[in-house]
Structure 1
Amino acid sequence: MKAKFQNNPVTLTGSVVKVGDNAPDFKAIDNNLKEVSLKDTKGVRILLTVPSIDTPVCDLEVRTFNDKAASVKGVSIYTISMDLPFAQARWCGAHGINSVTTLSDYKDRLVGKNYGTYVEELGLLARAAFVIDSNNKVVYVEYLEEITNQPNFEAILKAAKEAK
């Protein structure tokens, strides 16, 4: 998988996920320091990986999905970064984020490894989006070639609305 960060090539490690794959399991940490895995999530899910929620591009992405969450009833939205859970909780509280769940991959890096989003040179996650249906099938995948770009919000939301 080829990716760039601020126009500089970077190396993504881990397994590339494709539409039709079974969603890979993962372990991440929520804002209460509890472990969350794929099996702890239900229904249609949007998984977003981002470098850090406390940067302008990631901030806009999380706020946009938080605002649009009402338009995808019954869909859970998770934003996963390497930010520590304390920082994620503080940022969400300061910005009124209540429709997106933030998870941290800082401990085991299994989201990065299992979804092919770990940026070797930076120790961060690349920007990517995955829509998983209620049967744990991946129905949408977007790896951004330039990590500092925004994902295709409308395509992600459309895939989530159409998923069962």
Structure 2
Amino acid sequence: MIVTKKGEEVEIIGTQPEVGVKAPNFSLKNLNDEVVNLSEFTGTPVLISVVPDIDTRICSLQTKRFNEEAAKVEGVKFITISNNTKDEQANWCAAEGVDMEILHDTEGTFGEAYGLFIPAMGRLARGIFVIDKDGKIVYEAISKEIAEEPDYGTALDQAKAAR
């Protein structure tokens, strides 16, 4: 899949799972070094926000927006994933006052399972997945332009509908 970064084409390797299929399970560490498995949330809808680099403007805006929504939307688990290091994520969260679940994919297992790794950047593509109570993907949006914010409204509507 080809996306752009400020108009320049970059290639995402792998295949993204499709809407209607069971979401690939993953195991990533959070900021407390606890392993978090997607399968732990069976029975609860999950909104996964994927950002290329937590320390950049659009990724920061996206993560702060979903952090705000996580505090308002009951019955949905919000997770942000990037391949930043734990320290980079922890420093950013402390500076921004963000307390939602942040997971780091420094080994690329999530990026591989969800087909979101961009080798030319060494980063994940920007995307959002909504997974229903049964573990099926009900919404997927991979940003065609990495430097633009995603469609928050549609993602939130899909997450609320999955409750």
Q: Same fold (TM over 0.5)?
A: yes
Instruction: Determine the structure 2 residue equivalent to 1:75.
Output: 76
The structural deviation recorded for 1:33 is 2.1
Q: Distance in 1 between matches of 2:123 and 2:96?
A: 22
1:7-59 per-position Cα deviation (integer Å, ceiling 9, x unaligned): 11111112212110100112222112232221233411001111111111001
The separation in 1 between residues aligned to 2:132 and 2:35, in whole angstroms, is 22
- 5 Å-filtered alignment, 1:136-155, equals 136-155=135-154
Q: Which runs of 5+ in 1 are unaligned?
A: none
* 1:1-164 map, 5 Å: 1-42=1-42, 43-98=44-99, 100-107=100-107, 109-164=108-163
Per-residue deviation, 1:131: 0.2
Q: CA RMSD in A?
A: 1.2
Per-residue Cα deviation, 1:56-113 (whole angstroms, up to 9, x for no partner): 1001011111112233211111110011112211211221112x21100002x11111
Per the normalisation by structure 1, the TM-score is 0.93
CA contact (8 A) 1:72 1:160 kept: no
User: Per the alignment, in what secondary structure is the counterpart of residue 11 of structure 2?
Assistant: strand
Q: Alignment partner of 1:23: what SS?
A: coil
**TM, length-normalised to structure 2:** 0.94
- Indicate if the aligned counterparts of 1:27 and 1:105 stay in contact, CA closer than 8 A: no
